[in-house]
Amino acid sequence: MWGVVRGFLESIYGKFNGFLSDTLDIDGKLLGLYDQFVSPLPEVIKIVGAVFVGIILVLGTLSFVKKMLKLFIVLAVILAIVLLITQLT
């Protein structure tokens, strides 16, 4: 019984995935953009662009970590206050 249900769901997923792949063709569009815009650039510009993207990713990750740390501290303080209030009453 479960094999039939699993096969049915896999069939629906396969048909939907194939439809999206044929309709959107994201891979083809991205490769076309690469061939059109990035491939003709000189290697020096590609290297500078890759370094720039790397710096942006590192700084973005650090910013995200800092915000999560602040959120964790705020949640810890709120939890401590709630625990303190519930223990005293």
Q: How many helices (H) and strands (E) does the chain have?
A: 3, 0
Same domain assignment for residues 79 and 59: yes
Mark whether 81 and 48 lie in a shared domain.
yes
User: Do 31 and 52 lie in a common domain?
Assistant: no
Same domain, 34 and 47: no
Give me 82's structure tokens: 């709630």
Query: Looking at the structure, do residues 54 and 80 belong to the same domain, yes or no?
Result: yes
8 Å CB contact between 79 and 72: no
Asked if residue 13 has pLDDT above 90, the reply is yes
Q: What spatial distance separates the first Cα and last Cα of the chain, rounded to whole Å?
A: 55
Cα angle 41-46-51, degrees, rounded to a multiple of 5:
160
Do 51 and 36 reside in the same domain of the chain? no
| CA atoms lying within 13 Å on the CB side of residue 82 | 6
Q: How many domains does the chain have?
A: 2
pTM for this predicted structure: 0.59
33-84: pLDDT as tens digits: 999 999 999 999 999 999 999 999 999 999 999 999 999 999 999 999 999 9
Is there a single domain that holds both residue 86 and residue 47?
yes
Q: Is the pLDDT score of 89 beyond 80?
A: no
Domain that holds residue 24: 1-40
